[in-house]
Amino acid sequence: VSPVGAGSCLEALEKRKPLIVVTNEKLMNNHQLELAKQLHRDGHVLCCNCSTLVETLQSMDLSTLKPYTPGQPEKFALFLDKVVGFQ
């Protein structure tokens, strides 16, 4: 169970840990909600808020979660080098 900070989410997912993310509805513009919804739509996390956490824990099925495949920043860096003319 984790807040929806990008670093926290990615660290847990990269370690292949099942993850329930809890959004903070009091945040201005609630940017975390966007990340939580996308990770949930992609099947990587279960998502809830403080008021639905207990219900989520009681009804969760972690077997439905899909493994997260981390990006490859080195490929992007190589691409960017080519575009900018460093290679």
Report the alpha-carbon distance of residue 31 to residue 25 in Å, rounded: 10
Here the tokens at position 23 are 């959004």
Residue 26: band (very low, low, confident or very high) from pLDDT cuts 50, 70, 90: confident
Which of 22, 43, 44, 41 has its CA nearest to residue 32? 22
Alpha-carbon distance 36 to 21, whole Å? 7
pLDDT at 27: 73
Predicted structure pTM score: 0.77
pLDDT above 70 for 28: no
Model confidence pLDDT, tens digit, residues 44-74:
999 999 999 999 999 999 999 999 988 877 8
Cα–Cα nearest to 4, from 28, 53, 37:
37
Determine the distance from the C-alpha atom of residue 37 to the mean position of all C-alpha atoms in its chain, rounded to a whole number: 9
Percent pLDDT > 70 in the chain is 98
